[in-house]
Chains A and B, each alone.
Chain A
């Protein structure tokens, strides 16, 4: 045992005045009396009644000296050296990744790690400093270079593990920053391993405190749908046994919330099993879960979800006599399924099928316009003049003054480099409901508008009559127009979403509010202000439903699944060493000496003795009075 402030021990000299006071008090006045005979009898009586009466005064002195001793010792701040990993300035990196939720150590690894760090906080010496960094999705410095145990404890108690993978590089950068400026700084990584391979080396010494003692975990590491060669949708799942013992489990698959299949599977240690199912067409949401595992310490990867997006891509019908540029452009557009018919065949050929977008190329408009969005290229006047109501588009001859005079500021022309494009001739088209976006001297080249609830775009010249298809602007323009006509998916999550990963949602033009229904049924809402909306509350695992609210109400815009598909996190085997850059981080041994301070105990003892002293004093003073009453 040693003392942090040994000078305070000098206060122990206060014992001298106390003893002196007692001695002064005890030096009795000598009084001569005729005889002590009667007094002796009295003394004998009293001593017989309370043998400890005489001791009382000495007892009080003793207790007071004890109190003084306890207080002086407490002021001197004694500590006992305890083996500890913390000494000097420490930066503690507390792993908050999903694998820390494993329950191989009770109650779980994260709690165990917190308990470990808490014990370090208790052993923090007077001059030690601790920085606490929680390695989460976004690593955060909970407490910076502090000796305040209470602040550290509070921050530690409030720390929660992240939902999925964590950002180790950012955390290590924070730690490096925190360690700078301290001579004796040291970084302590409290983790179960699972750090990414490529990490920058640390500028200061680092030690590693492993958490967890078992790696037994059976995980669903993949769930996806795909089209087989034959065009049949297929469900694919992978179950990986990341532990070192063979595992048996029940794998259940739900389609649209109803049990579809359940299999008992056996996965040998360290191996994975792939399973496939043929999916019925109507399947949209898929959930797979593992149950009845032999041993499984991590629950978060035992249930996964997937969305089957088979019928969601937009169908486009190209009605064209043959246009290699157009066909090519639509083939490569993502999310588009293009079909082509000849104008001669007429729309009757595809009667009964519905398309999201009709592209009419160099043909007169049919009398009966389809109930969908339209893209007209080089519209021809109808062969038979329309009778009755006014036609949607009136084509009156051609013009060749195609020098562009105005480009509207429109998202449709975003990234379109309209320069040096020559057009031989264009048709004079008038559509009062449409807005010209590109205007030439002779008339508009591109018009857009909405008619009967559908969007319509008109390109007034034939592609063959210009060098536009050869320009870089062409695919961009076609993509912009098509996107505008058939708004694509509100979000793009082809590989699924990791927990905590943000999802960008692109609302439609008329959308006012974006809503996301979380797996637990709660709603996230964000009014549309800019184009891109970031949904960043994907901590829960499961299926999220995106809703776009416009004047017509809430319109479902698809779902996405949030799964812990991470081999890194599912592999909960505690790592024996850590690799940071070139350096291997050694496991911290408790060779360093921490200081466990004892003053709170001493203060408690002092208070306790004070109570005892009070009792002795009070009881001592009371006793004779009580007896006197009894005598009376």
Chain B
């Protein structure tokens, strides 16, 4: 079943309607409105990138130098939006499509990317698989006409391999291009940790939003009995006897872990949004993220 099926696309179209009111990048919250700043003061030039609105191309400069430059106006601050989707094997969970984390993450990425493209931001999408080689990257592109391409790219996203979040994020910080707003869509299930990676991103100037995606069965596992748990990502196993007591302890543990993430995020100025995949993604985009201030 394709990730961006009819239903999804329709929902995304609805998003387009509201995209004018919705902007990615709360973090630069005090940007001036785009409506007032279309043709006012010149601010700077910057290189043309594919998808830029040709209307803003400075044809004079192009005529003189034969190189395309985009004329930046002061009101219209250019925003780079980075969407990092954790595509490790653990994200491809649960197997039912309805609550699949990766699928959910791709939907989210599609929605956020669509909004960003619609509002003229520069969008980079990266599926984090493995250690950095063979990352599936898309972008940077600008303009809503690229939305379909974005969806096609996301459609091809497949989970694979073991992700070391720390290493992946550090790598991205090094070669990710122009810093901007970065959304990390991950389940954060990385035993090696995430702090160094997030710190590296912040050190490069990224504004980080963390969408912590967990499926309901991870928060409250429907398991019981003598089990040998096998990690779908690493293959490691853990033998455990599950009874009500142990499960209660596990739920406790998950809450503590989420609290720990939230505390870390709050301490670093990272927007932390715990996301459960049983909440419809469009609802999340249209409501929860706005409430949380991720979108505006």
Contact = CB atoms under 8 A, between A and B. Distances in A.
A29 B227 contact: yes
A37 B230 contact: no
Nearest to A31: B227
Given A39-B240, A42-B249, A34 B189 contact: yes
Given A29-B225, A32-B232, A37 B189 contact: yes
A452 interface: no
B100 to A, nearest CB: 10
Given A28-B226, A38-B257, A39-B240, A33 B249 contact: no
Interface string A93-120: 0000000000000000000000000000
A41 interface: yes
7 contacts: A28-B227, A31-B223, A31-B228, A34-B215, A36-B229, A42-B249, A43-B238
A36 B235 CA distance: 9
Contacts of A26: 226
A105 B9 CA distance: 110
Interface string A9-38: 000000000000000011011111111111
B189 A35 contact: yes
B246 interface: yes
Contacts of B246: 42, 46, 624
B250 A34 contact: no
Contact of B229 (A39, A46, A624): A39
A319 B189 CA distance: 144
A297 to B, nearest CB: 72
A115 B228 CA distance: 63
Given A32-B230, A33-B229, A628-B245, A38 B253 contact: yes
Contacts of A625: 245
A154 interface: no
Nearest to B231: A36
A45 interface: yes
A575 to B, nearest CB: 74
B195 to A, nearest CB: 15
A35 B250 contact: no
Interface string B253-284: 11001000000000000000000000000000
Contact of A31 (B215, B230, B252): B230
Contacts of B94: 34
Contacts of B232: 32-35
Nearest to A35: B189
A43 to B, nearest CB: 6
Given A25-B226, A28-B227, A624-B246, A33 B253 contact: no
Contact of B238 (A25, A40, A624, A631): A40
Interface string B234-251: 101111100001101110
A34 B228 contact: no
Nearest to B254: A38
Contacts of B168: none
B74 interface: no
A431 to B, nearest CB: 118
B118 interface: no
Nearest to A41: B253
Interface in A407-460: none
Contacts of A34: 90-91, 93-94, 101, 187, 189, 215, 218, 231-233
Interface string B204-237: 0000000000010010010101111111111011
B128 to A, nearest CB: 15
Interface in B45-98: 90-91, 93-94
Which of A32, A35, A42, A43 is the most central at the interface, judged by chain B CB atoms within 10 Å of its CB?
A: A35
B143 to A, nearest CB: 36
Nearest to B233: A35
Given A34-B93, A35-B231, A36-B236, 10 more contacts: A26-B226, A28-B239, A33-B218, A33-B230, A34-B91, A35-B90, A36-B238, A37-B189, A42-B240, A625-B245
Contacts of A39: 229, 238, 240, 250
A30 B238 CA distance: 10
A159 to B, nearest CB: 62
A68 B86 CA distance: 55
Contacts of A30: 227-228, 230, 237
Nearest to A631: B252
Interface residues of B, number: 37
Q: Which 7 A-B pairs have the closest CB atoms?
A: A35-B189, A34-B93, A28-B228, A36-B231, A34-B90, A36-B238, A28-B226
Q: Is the contact region of chain B dominated by helix, strand, or loop, or is it mixed?
A: mixed
A72 to B, nearest CB: 29
Contacts of B248: 628
A618 to B, nearest CB: 15
Contacts of B134: none
Interface string A26-70: 101111111111111111011000000000000000000000000
A38 B254 CA distance: 7
A168 B239 CA distance: 79
A35 B254 CA distance: 12
Contacts of B252: 631
A198 B101 CA distance: 111
Nearest to A57: B241
B187 A36 contact: no
B191 interface: yes
Nearest to B245: A624
Given A38-B253, A41-B253, A45-B249, A33 B231 contact: yes
A26 B240 CA distance: 10
A42 B187 contact: no
B187 to A, nearest CB: 7
A25 B245 CA distance: 20
A29 B240 CA distance: 10
B192 to A, nearest CB: 10
B189 A31 contact: no
Most chain B CB atoms below 10 A, which of A32, A43, A628, A631:
A32
B87 to A, nearest CB: 13
A301 B61 CA distance: 149
A50 to B, nearest CB: 12
Interface string B125-149: 0000000000000000000000000
A42 B256 CA distance: 12
Contacts of B238: 36, 39-40, 43
A37 B191 contact: yes
Q: Which of A28, A36, A41, A42 has the most CB of B within 10 A?
A: A36
Contacts of B230: 30-33, 36
Contacts of A42: 240, 246, 249-250, 253
A30 to B, nearest CB: 5
A385 to B, nearest CB: 133
A631 B233 CA distance: 32
Contacts of A628: 245, 248-249
A41 B249 CA distance: 11
Contacts of A41: 253, 257
Interface string A71-109: 000000000000000000000000000000000000000
Most chain A CB inside 10 Å of its own CB: which residue of B231, B246, B248: B231
A550 B27 CA distance: 136
Contacts of A33: 93, 218, 221, 229-232
Contacts of A25: 226
Contacts of A624: 245-246, 249
Contacts of A45: 249, 253
A364 B197 CA distance: 160
A625 B231 CA distance: 28
B212 to A, nearest CB: 13
A166 B90 CA distance: 99
A630 to B, nearest CB: 12
Interface centre among A28, A43, A631, by most B CB within 10 Å? Answer: A28
Contacts of A28: 226-228, 239
Interface string A321-348: 0000000000000000000000000000
Q: Which of B94, B215, B234, B249 has the most CB of A within 10 A?
A: B249
